[in-house]
Amino acid sequence: MKRLCYAIVAGGSVSAGQVQKLQKKAENLIWIAADSGAEVLWQNGVVPHILIGDLDSLSAETLQAVKSRGQTEIFRFSPEKDMSDTYLALQAVRLLHTGGSRALFSAWQAIHLPAENAGFEQIPAEDAGRQNCGLKKPKVVLLGAVGSRLDHSLSNLWILFDFIADMKLTVWTDKGRIRAYSGSKRLSFKSKEKYPFFSILPLSEKLEGLSLKGFRYPLKNQTIPQNQASWLLSNQLTKKRAKLKIRKGKFLVIRSRD
> Where among 136, 158, 174 does a domain terminate?
174
Q: Please give the Cα distance from 191 to 169 (Å, whole number).
A: 19
Q: What is the SS3 assignment for 155?
A: helix
The mean pLDDT value for 81-93 works out to 93
Strand order in the sheet with 73-76: 112-113, 73-76, 50-53, 30-34, 4-9, 139-143, 168-173, 176-182, 250-256, 197-202
In DSSP notation, 101-135 reads -HHHHHHHHHTEE--SS--SPPSPPTT-----TT-
Give the model confidence (pLDDT) of 5-36 as tens digits: 899 999 888 988 899 899 887 777 899 999 99
- Cα angle 159-165-171, degrees, rounded to a multiple of 5: 50
Q: What is the SS3 assignment for 226?
A: helix
CATH, residue 203: 3.40.50.10240
The mean pLDDT value for 233-249 works out to 97
Give the model confidence (pLDDT) of 187-217 as tens digits: 999 999 999 999 999 999 999 999 999 999 9
Residue 59 — φ and ψ, nearest 5°? Answer: -65, 150
Q: Please give the Cα distance from 45 to 39 (Å, whole number).
A: 10
Quick one: 163 and 51 in the same domain?
yes
Q: Please give the Cα distance from 94 to 162 (Å, whole number).
A: 11
Q: What is the model's pLDDT at position 41? A: 94
CA distances from 13 to 63, 78, 144 (A): 20, 24, 5
- Helices vs strands, H then E, count in the chain: 6, 14
Name the domain count of the chain. 2
Task: Inform me whether the pLDDT recorded for 131 exceeds 70.
Answer: no
Residue 62 lies in domain: 4-174
Q: What is the SS3 assignment for 139?
A: strand
Q: Please give the Cα distance from 88 to 11 (Å, whole number).
A: 13
Confidence of residue 118 (pLDDT cuts 50, 70, 90): low
Quick one: 79 and 203 in the same domain?
no
> Where among 116, 144, 174 does a domain terminate?
174
Quick one: 56 and 105 in the same domain?
yes
Task: Inform me whether the pLDDT recorded for 113 exceeds 90.
Answer: no
Q: What is the model's pLDDT at position 80? A: 86
> Where among 156, 174, 192 does a domain terminate?
174
Task: Inform me whether the pLDDT recorded for 111 exceeds 50.
Answer: yes
Task: Inform me whether the pLDDT recorded for 122 exceeds 80.
Answer: no
Q: Please give the Cα distance from 132 to 102 (Å, whole number).
A: 19
Q: What is the model's pLDDT at position 117? A: 67
Q: Please give the Cα distance from 227 to 202 (Å, whole number).
A: 9
Q: What is the model's pLDDT at position 127? A: 45
Give the model confidence (pLDDT) of 143-201 as tens digits: 999 988 999 999 999 999 999 999 999 999 999 999 999 999 999 999 999 999 999 99
Quick one: 133 and 202 in the same domain?
no
Task: Inform me whether the pLDDT recorded for 133 exceeds 90.
Answer: no
Give the model confidence (pLDDT) of 29-69 as tens digits: 899 999 999 999 999 999 999 999 999 899 999 999 999 99
Quick one: 65 and 143 in the same domain?
yes
Quick one: 120 and 231 in the same domain?
no
